[in-house]
Amino acid sequence: MSEITPKQQFVSLISNAKKILLLSHENPDADAIGSLLGLLIVLRRLKKEAIAICPDDLPSNLQFLPFASMLKKDLENQDLVINIDCGNVALDKLGYKMEDHTLKIVVKTLQGSLKKENLSVFLTAEDYDVVIVLDAPDLERISYFYQEHPELFYRSVVVNIDHHPTNTYFGKVNLVDLTATSTSEILIGLIEALEKEEKLIDKAVAHCLLAGIIGDTGSFQNSNTTPKSLTCAAQLLAAGADQQQIVQNLFKTKSLSTLRLWGRVLQQIQEDRQLRFVLGRANKTDFQESNAKEEEISGVIDELLRSLPDYDLVILLSEKEKGVAGSLRAINPTVDCLEIAKTFGGGGHRGAAGFLVKEGSIEEVAQQVVAKVREYQAKRLGLNLVPNSTPPVISSEKPTS
Amino acid sequence: MSEITPKQQFVSLISNAKKILLLSHENPDADAIGSLLGLLIVLRRLKKEAIAICPDDLPSNLQFLPFASMLKKDLENQDLVINIDCGNVALDKLGYKMEDHTLKIVVKTLQGSLKKENLSVFLTAEDYDVVIVLDAPDLERISYFYQEHPELFYRSVVVNIDHHPTNTYFGKVNLVDLTATSTSEILIGLIEALEKEEKLIDKAVAHCLLAGIIGDTGSFQNSNTTPKSLTCAAQLLAAGADQQQIVQNLFKTKSLSTLRLWGRVLQQIQEDRQLRFVLGRANKTDFQESNAKEEEISGVIDELLRSLPDYDLVILLSEKEKGVAGSLRAINPTVDCLEIAKTFGGGGHRGAAGFLVKEGSIEEVAQQVVAKVREYQAKRLGLNLVPNSTPPVISSEKPTS
């Protein structure tokens, strides 16, 4: 007799479950929210008591998704439990009354006294038959929700649906497909397996899942794009997903302050042609004059600066509240940004890395970073830098044509 | 007996043809070049004497396509034909000799003289069995090639493969599919119809055709994206197309001068919040200081300025050699850019229009355009503008938060 597959386990679990809890990770992206909402709509359609929790605020660019308002940040209707460690104290009786919206509980003792330290108070969630964790490589990514409700993960069957290579297989049932572009893509097959007569992937579900696929593939521009992700997208588009609304919200929405800030960065780009790198920067004045928040700087490096084919890498420095933040991106894939970022206490990957220098002005950090990158590039390209020369200066002049 | 379909006609024509000429339109885009090269590779594989002509320079961002160097700008090995209208002149004999690489032809007369005006000289192309025109709505789009070789289009069977709604069905065989995103998409089915044992859509062909689809759908972000285009893309990706190289070349390649120019435009964006429009501008100094060519301005409106959700339309003015060029884009789809552009002698569509004002400084044109847009928007939004007020000034100040 052949063994039951995880997919069959999933179908059987859902069929038998009455109460289902859906969870995704902190800092949610389009795939986290898309998969959460897509599956929530399906389970509600199957008459399950399902709720979906995202342990973070819903980003404004994802609020367009259908039924986004059904997402909760935490469980509702939790029970309050008060445990009193009585030790040797002999109890007499317990009484309570309501007084002006105040519940007053009195514990009378026969002998000895209870102390405040003997009391422990916590909230307890109702039980769920199944807890489905979406798009999270491990339970820590569910953030405070996991810390506050650990009991839920012991008392329920945990289903882990994910596509990240770092997934720790923390579930009782693990539907982890590392070849999938996104958790939303994995859900298509799982939802179809739940179908009986009625099609479950309707317009709303298709819209949510397509948002997940488009988000995680960068609108089919990232290197993870597969033939399967494109056929899945075709299926969802045919089922009624509004691809224009998704693209508009995920990629084509910028504020005037963002564009003004990016303008200031672009206009001041400095380059080192010989050592093949460029440096962009945004100081406090740039943020203030463009009326932009700190996080508005982030897109300019991937959307624009990284598109310079004649350079090997790009650095972006920005003066933030906590210090000078640096981002590094490899344009030439043989450059190792992580090696450079580590020098400044940072982390990341070869292709994209970052760091935060808490001390020093942006000018000082720029000099240090430029010196380090020059050294790195000179070695890589086999060029000689004059030792002990004056501090490196790179050009922001109009290039001579 | 059922009638033969255009596709069957196409297959039969190609099977019987020995010499095939492929053509596409001037100002070629990824679909023009992708379809041209894709079909060229297939026909060569089928041992046809096929040549492909693009009546324009190959844009630098398309030179990455396989076999791009096989494209010609005009026919080679053309015959020179000299017609002499002799009228009443009686001819004696014709002689010729070669002298130092000069062919000297002498026409002796018995009575009367020939005049220079009686001479007409032209080049004549060798005959082709089939001329296939790709991605061109009409023959005028083939530009000088059609004007210089009209005889080719009478002597050969013309096949018209296109997806533009304005197609004039100029071919003997018309394979026009208005539901296709691109000519490259149409070619997939046609090439498959040519297959016998061997698969014809190999890695190189798939790469060319995918470039066409990605180009014409804006990497599946345009509203013309269909489920079919996504499944076609999946098929081509599975056949070995290098989607990363395509995306990199079509969308992620910018020069430093372009980014610096865009920076200058973005930093100076002006807005009219009440009337919900923004104005960007680039004057001669901006082009000079950023060392950018005139055409480098074009992407900033579609890639960035159009992404402002809080405005209804965006205007970009740039000071060029021939005058002040204006581009208009609707952010709110109910805005009619064409109506505004027409006031300045321009053209286009509702969503995207442009004009060129040959007289006047960019400041003067800006004032006129802003006045016109204010009037248009005030009417649309039902707001009152104070008549005969001072010339409209719009704000480029840091917005008050």
CATH of the domain at B37: 3.90.1640.10
Residue numbers in A near B331 (CB within 8 A) = none
User: How far away is chain B from the Cα of A247, in angstroms, using its nearest Cα?
Assistant: 6
Choose the final residue of a domain: A250, A265, A287.
A250
Are both B363 and B231 inside the same structural domain?
no
Are both A320 and A357 inside the same structural domain?
yes
Are both B242 and B263 inside the same structural domain?
no
Are both B342 and B359 inside the same structural domain?
yes
Residue numbers in A near B264 (CB within 8 A) = 263, 267
pLDDT of residue B80: 82
CB A246 within 8 A of CB A210: yes
- In this complex, the residue of B227, B263, B398 whose CB is nearest that of residue A265 is B263
Are both A377 and A284 inside the same structural domain?
yes
Cα–Cα nearest to B176, from B158, B200, B196: B158
Choose the final residue of a domain: B227, B250, B273.
B250
In this structure, is residue A392 part of a structural domain? no
Report how far apart, in Å, the C-alpha atoms of B130 and of each of A113, B65, B73, B171, B209 are. Answer: 104, 25, 18, 11, 21
Are both B12 and B146 inside the same structural domain?
yes
User: How far away is chain A from the Cα of B237, in angstroms, using its nearest Cα?
Assistant: 6
One-letter amino acid identity for A317? L
pLDDT of residue B400: 42
Is A107's pLDDT higher than 70? yes
A306 and B252: CB-CB below 8 Å? yes
In this structure, is residue B100 part of a structural domain? yes
Are both B172 and B25 inside the same structural domain?
yes
- Give the dihedral sign, CA B57/B60/B65/B67: positive
B259 and A305: CB-CB below 8 Å? yes
Instruction: Quickly state the pLDDT bin for A288 (edges 50, 70, 90).
Output: very high
Are both A266 and A216 inside the same structural domain?
no
Measured distance CA(A203)–CA(A66) in Å, rounded: 10
Range scoring the smallest mean pLDDT among A81-90, A145-154, B74-83, B98-107: B74-83
Are both B280 and B323 inside the same structural domain?
yes
In this structure, is residue A180 part of a structural domain? yes
Number of structural domains found in chain A:
3
Are both B203 and B69 inside the same structural domain?
yes
B399 and A CB contact within 8 Å: yes
Mean pLDDT throughout A314-343? 94
Q: What is the CATH number of the domain that holds A292?
A: 3.10.310.30
User: How far away is chain A from the Cα of B246, in angstroms, using its nearest Cα?
Assistant: 9
CB A142 within 8 A of CB A133: yes
In this structure, is residue A277 part of a structural domain? yes
In this structure, is residue A399 part of a structural domain? no
- In this complex, the residue of B228, B263, B291 whose CB is nearest that of residue A266 is B263
Residue numbers in B near A288 (CB within 8 A) = 398
User: How far away is chain A from the Cα of B24, in angstroms, using its nearest Cα?
Assistant: 27
SS (H, E, C) chain A: CCCCCHHHHHHHHHHHCCEEEEECCCCCCHHHHHHHHHHHHHHHHCCCEEEEECCCCCCHHHCCCCCHHHCECCCCCCEEEEEECCCCCEEEEEEEEEECCEEEEEEEEEECCCCHHHEEEEEECCCCCEEEEECCCCHHHHCHHHHHCHHHHHHCEEEEEECCCCCCCCCCEEEECCCCCCHHHHHHHHHHHHCCCCCCCCHHHHHHHHHHHHHHCCCCCCCCCCHHHHHHHHHHHHCCCCHHHHHHHHHCCCCHHHHHHHHHHHHCCEEECCCCEEEEEECHHHHHHHCCCHHHHCHHHHHCHHHCCCCCEEEEEEEECCEEEEEEEECCCCCCHHHHHHHCCCEECCCEEEEEECCCCHHHHHHHHHHHHHHHHHHHHCCCCCCCCCCCCCECCCCCC
Cα–Cα nearest to A65, from A77, A75, A54: A54
Q: What is the largest CA-CA distance in chain B?
A: 95
A234 and B235: CB-CB below 8 Å? no
Chain B neighbours among A 304-323 (CB < 8 Å)? 304-310
In this structure, is residue B394 part of a structural domain? no
B264 and A267: CB-CB below 8 Å? yes
- Give the dihedral sign, CA A60/A62/A66/A71: negative
B278 and A CB contact within 8 Å: yes
B332 and A CB contact within 8 Å: no
A60 and B CB contact within 8 Å: no
In this structure, is residue A340 part of a structural domain? yes
Are both A187 and A97 inside the same structural domain?
no
User: How far away is chain A from the Cα of B391, in angstroms, using its nearest Cα?
Assistant: 24
In this structure, is residue A329 part of a structural domain? yes
Are both B118 and B131 inside the same structural domain?
no
A266 and B CB contact within 8 Å: yes
Measured distance CA(B230)–CA(A33) in Å, rounded: 23
Cα B125 to its chain centre, rounded Å, is 25
Per-residue pLDDT of chain B (401 residues; tens, 9 = 90+): 568 999 999 999 999 999 999 999 988 999 999 999 999 999 999 999 999 999 889 988 899 999 999 999 888 877 888 888 988 888 888 889 988 889 899 889 998 888 888 888 877 778 899 999 999 999 988 888 898 888 889 899 999 999 998 899 999 999 999 999 999 999 999 999 999 988 999 999 999 999 999 999 989 988 889 999 999 999 999 999 999 999 999 988 899 999 999 999 999 999 999 999 999 999 999 999 999 999 899 889 988 998 998 899 999 999 999 999 999 999 998 999 999 999 999 887 888 889 999 999 999 999 999 999 999 999 999 998 765 444 445 665 444 43
Strand-pair category, A352-357 with A323-330: antiparallel
Residue numbers in B near A309 (CB within 8 A) = 253
A267 and B CB contact within 8 Å: yes
Q: Which domain holds residue B263?
A: 256-381
For residue B108, the surrounding DSSP H or E stretch is strand B102-111
